[in-house]
């Protein structure tokens, strides 16, 4: 067993170095920040130092000492308890081929989880009032960014519903968490494309959350898979090349696109597309802190008179900001919520927290940029599986 120190300009660089030399099984023991290096060190100014524990067998796969990066110090610790069971070969330093993309995604996910866990450890409150046998679960919920009051509520219900023997069992607690999250499935409801003709669906939200790409995915789904007659209307004339982006998608799909710049034009465009089965309405990203922009957006929504309005949020948003966005955008008649960028999220506690706290249906989740793929109807059971993926083993 060995302990190794890795230095970097920031935490991300240090973790990349760890992954490159050791693999995904490194156990982070200690992190020191604001470390200073001189001109003969790895970097100048402030940085970080990460201490990791590695199995001796893993080191055999790592580069030889002469090839080790500068700034890495090793020393033996023979009495340290063995915590790693299988070696992880070092990734080759070559361009990533198509077949290696899944491995690359796993690597990035590991780094994101490590960064998120480290940044939150100092923020975890005292587990006061939590039974000893549930403290590990409580900390897991917090590290997965479930809000504290919800984490306590979940465990309080577990105490009421489970026997003392089940509470001591991680298997039973994990299954309880799966059932609890699955029970939120009543809030999962995709677009009702049989509500009339045409069904009008508007999408609103802040900038950068992926509204346009989401609409393109849904347009492809309804047109190519469900064989619906689809049309798209956009009012997103604020972003540079925004119209060109969605026009490119619609041209490929042979779906008509209307561009409108006023509420009057919106009403006219809706009337022209009256023979469509479904009309998807793209809007410009708006800051939830700008009340004037929200009022302007609401005028377009009133003119469109949609059957459904979906608020699009990124799963990379923090809980406080997400709840603030939901509150402010509720000035518009929001019916459902879409969470995008699940592939970029460190964890899924935000989605679980919002599902439990907000009285609105969840319609879809997206997890990549590929059109028409990388979108699915929201499914609480699948979200539970993703959320519990890293729950401690028995």
Rounded CA gap, 277 and 197, in Å? 5
Task: Determine what percent of the chain is predicted with pLDDT higher than 90.
Answer: 45
Q: What mean pLDDT do residues 145-168 have? A: 93
Instruction: Please state the rounded mean pLDDT for residues 290-304.
Output: 89
Does residue 92 surpass a pLDDT of 80? no
What per-residue confidence (pLDDT) applies to 245?
81
**8 A C-beta contact, residue 189 and residue 363:** yes
Q: Give residue 5's pLDDT.
A: 82
> pLDDT grade, residue 215 (50/70/90)?
very high
Which pairs count as long-range contacts for 246-251, CB under 8 Å and 24+ apart, including other chains?
Answer: 246/212, 246/215, 246/216, 246/282, 249/212, 249/216, 249/219, 249/371, 250/216, 250/219
Residues of 252-280 as b/e, b for ≥16 C-beta within 10 angstroms?
ebebbbbbbeebebbbebbeebeebbbbb
| Residue 314 confidence class, pLDDT cut points 50, 70, 90 | very high
CB 107 within 8 A of CB 15: no
> Residue range 349-354: average pLDDT?
93
DSSP class per residue in 9-24: SSHHHHHHHHHHHT-T
In the block, residue with structure tokens 């669906």: 201
Predicted confidence band of residue 218 (pLDDT cuts 50, 70, 90): very high
CB 211 within 8 A of CB 281: no
Residue 305 gets the label, from left (phi > 0), alpha (psi -120 to 50) or beta, of left
- Name the residue with higher pLDDT: 85 or 265: 265
What is the residue extent of each domain of the chain? 2-84, 124-186, 189-378
SS3 category, 303: helix
Cα 239 to Cα 318: distance, rounded to the nearest angstrom: 24
Query: With 80 as the cut, is the pLDDT of residue 322 above it?
Result: yes
CB 161 within 8 A of CB 333: no
pTM for the whole thing? 0.67
CATH T-level assignment (fold) for domain 2-84: Alpha-Beta Plaits (3.30.70)
- The yes or no reply on domain 189-378 and CATH 3.40.50.300 is yes
Mapped onto helix, strand or coil, the DSSP state of residue 118 is helix
Closest to 140 in 3D by CA, of 348, 357, 367, 361: 348
């Amino acid at each position: 067993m060995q302990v190794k120190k890795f230095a970097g300009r920031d935490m991300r660089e240090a973790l990349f170095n760890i992954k490159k030399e050791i693999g995904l099984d490194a156990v982070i023991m200690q992190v020191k920040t604001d470390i200073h290096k001189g001109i003969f060190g790895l970097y100048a100014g402030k940085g970080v130092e990460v201490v990791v524990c590695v199995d001796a067998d893993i080191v055999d796969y790592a580069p030889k000492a002469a090839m080790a990066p500068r700034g890495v110090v090793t020393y033996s610790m023979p009495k340290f308890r063995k915590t790693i069971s299988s070696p992880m070969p070092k990734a080759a330093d070559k361009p990533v081929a198509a077949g290696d993309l899944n491995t690359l995604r796993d690597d990035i996910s590991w780094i994101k989880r490590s960064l998120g866990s480290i940044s939150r450890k100092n923020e975890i409150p005292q587990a006061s009032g939590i039974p000893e046998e549930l403290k590990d679960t409580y900390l897991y919920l917090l590290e997965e960014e479930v809000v504290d009051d919800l984490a306590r509520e979940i465990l309080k219900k577990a105490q009421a519903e489970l026997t003392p023997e089940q509470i001591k069992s991680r298997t039973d607690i994990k299954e309880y968490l799966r059932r609890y999250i699955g029970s939120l499935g009543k809030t999962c409801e995709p677009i009702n494309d049989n509500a009339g003709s045409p069904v009008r669906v508007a999408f609103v939200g802040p900038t950068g959350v992926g509204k346009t790409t989401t609409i393109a995915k849904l347009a492809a789904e309804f047109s190519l898979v469900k064989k619906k007659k689809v049309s798209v209307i956009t009012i997103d004339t604020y972003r540079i090349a925004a119209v060109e982006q969605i026009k490119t998608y619609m041209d490929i799909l042979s779906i008509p696109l209307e561009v409108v710049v006023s509420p009057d034009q919106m009403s006219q465009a809706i009337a022209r597309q009256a023979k469509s089965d479904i009309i998807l309405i793209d809007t410009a990203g708006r800051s939830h802190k700008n009340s004037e922009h929200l009022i302007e957006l609401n005028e377009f929504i009133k003119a469109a008179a949609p059957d459904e309005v979906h608020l699009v949020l990124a799963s990379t948003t923090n809980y406080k900001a997400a709840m603030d966005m939901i509150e402010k955008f509720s000035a518009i008649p929001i019916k459902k919520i879409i969470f995008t960028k699940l592939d970029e999220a460190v964890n899924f506690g935000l989605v679980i927290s919002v599902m439990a706290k907000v009285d609105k249906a969840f319609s879809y989740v997206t997890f990549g940029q590929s059109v028409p793929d990388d979108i699915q109807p929201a499914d609480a059971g699948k979200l539970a599986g993703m959320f519990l993926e890293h729950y401690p083993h028995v």
